[in-house]
Amino acid sequence: MFNTFKEVEEYIKKEKVDLVDLLYCDLWGRMRHVTLSAPEFTPAVMSEGVGFDGSSVGFKHVQAGDMVLIPDLTTGFADPFHAFPALSFICNVYEADTKQLYQFDPREIVRRAEKQLLTEGIADTSLWGPEFEFYVFDQVHLKNTPELTLCQFDSVEANWGSTVNPNGFSLGEHHGYHASPPSDSYYQLRDEIVVTLERMGIWAKYHHHEVGGPGQCEIETPLLGILKAGDAAMIIKYVTKMLAKKAGKTVTFLPKPLFGLAGSSTHYHQMLKKDNLNLFYDPEGPSLLSRTALSYIGGLLEHAPAVMAFTNPSSNSYRRLVPGYEAPIKAFFSAGNRSAAIRIPKYATQPDEVRMEFRPPDATGNPYLSMASMLMAGLDGIRKQIDPTAEGYGPINENIFNWSEEKRSTIKSLPTSVESAMQAVKTDNQFLKVGQIFDDTLIETWTREKLKEAGMVHLRPNPYEIETYYNC
């Protein structure tokens, strides 16, 4: 939105802005913010930054936690959720003393990953198209105390005896895909989300009701540069949650909030370009894929278990990645097969459209780290010229869930738990450390915290467990 501080000053004066909100992403993928009074937003902010405690957000140890935020002026947007006129910026994170970019700032990690493209001469641009699936609920009740474990969702679309304004237009389980009004009760909320995003400079490709049934929705962006895609992911989640709250509803991007219904993923469409030409396209290649595309796919499938430490880092991630819900559990690619880890969209046939889609990821991952890890795996495949067809990664255009267990076992499995994904990245991480994109400290910090989170989940009994074994 802005290129210079002078432009920002003029905008603040013209629009009578009262507040400047500084947004940033912590290590775990959650948005944080600090708000300045507009008169405090001086040129010194651009040189000295605004101080904060990095130890509270996963960046630093408490004894050396001082860091600063410096806004990226190109990300500025009018924030509609403040009571007074507010201008928001996504910030870069810097060391407090040297004013050097912090190496583990998620935005800096994706910048370094894309610079690796240029360094190796492979491509000059990576393009990303995230698909955001989420559930809208009208009521949520959560409680975790020694005597009570409660997790109750309700939706006006539910067919399980909803108590919230039943209208007779409920959606059956697995019957929500592209549902139309009045069965689709949330289309106006999605309309408001995408229009609000467009006014903030983030365009949506489309939105629709998803297959899961009550409340499941999807918003997809067009292909974006990797940094822009990461920023868009943060803002889309923010806007979606805030507008749902404004409407008296709640949104979750949790991979598997409801047992027996489709989970929510964050698929990533991917493409590399050089000199504005799509490197993944070859009119004579299988499914129009070039050798570069196949090698990229080979690298991503080869390193998929390690990549999933970043793209699927929660215990809930692996409640979604189970047979029967169009969720991938095996490392293979296919044209159009939605049970594949990598899908080649059949409808994308033009030279500037041919791409691949990695389907395991979900929104519990940090979007910047997720994309950086996928990109580094793909580049490793190109570097080593990995042939996915020779490695047994496909293409497989059959429903593997109709195969025998013995036949299915011939395909490399994806992780089935947080522990297996974290173990994978501990043993397979050299591809991440090329160009110092990731390092041992980051990998160790990430895996330690995610294993700790999973451990806290495993410590707690759940109602089904108690029901099953109560009469032991």
Task: Mark whether 210 is an active-site residue.
Answer: yes
Query: Quick check: bond before 85 cis, omega within 30?
Result: no
Task: Mark whether 157 is an active-site residue.
Answer: no
φ, ψ at 150 (rounded to 5°): -135, 130
Task: Mark whether 48 is an active-site residue.
Answer: no
> Which residues lie below 8 Å from residue 364, measured CB to CB, with a gap of 6+?
29, 253, 254, 255, 312, 313, 314, 316, 317
Task: Mark whether 267 is an active-site residue.
Answer: yes
State the Cα–Cα distance between residues 325 and 320, nearest whole angstrom: 8
- Kindly name the residue from 131, 184, 282, 380 that is annotated as catalytic: 131
CB 299 within 8 A of CB 431: yes
Task: Mark whether 359 is an active-site residue.
Answer: yes
DSSP H or E run through 165: none
State the Cα–Cα distance between residues 446 and 149, nearest whole angstrom: 28
DSSP assignment of 174-227: T--TT--TTT-TTHHHHHHHHHHHHHTT---SEEEE-TTSTTEEEEEPPPEEHH
Task: Mark whether 198 is an active-site residue.
Answer: no
The 3-state DSSP class for residue 52 equals: strand
Instruction: Name the burial class of residue 458, with classes exposed (0-12), middle (13-18) and buried (19+) by CB atoms within 10 angstroms of its CB.
Output: exposed
Task: Mark whether 291 is an active-site residue.
Answer: no
- Kindly name the residue from 133, 154, 282, 302 that is annotated as catalytic: 133
DSSP 8-state class, residue 28: T
- Kindly name the residue from 21, 302, 357, 362 that is annotated as catalytic: 357
- Kindly name the residue from 107, 207, 269, 359 that is annotated as catalytic: 359
- Kindly name the residue from 174, 319, 338, 383 that is annotated as catalytic: 338
DSSP 8-state class, residue 84: S
- Kindly name the residue from 7, 10, 15, 53 that is annotated as catalytic: 53
Cα separations (Å) of 382 from 359, 393, 395?
Answer: 20, 15, 18
- Kindly name the residue from 112, 267, 269, 343 that is annotated as catalytic: 267
- Kindly name the residue from 21, 108, 154, 218 that is annotated as catalytic: 218
CB 400 within 8 A of CB 394: no
CB 154 within 8 A of CB 163: yes
Which pair of tokens denotes residue 262? 């489709």
- Kindly name the residue from 138, 154, 157, 210 that is annotated as catalytic: 210
Cite the active site residues.
53, 131, 133, 210, 218, 267, 338, 357, 359
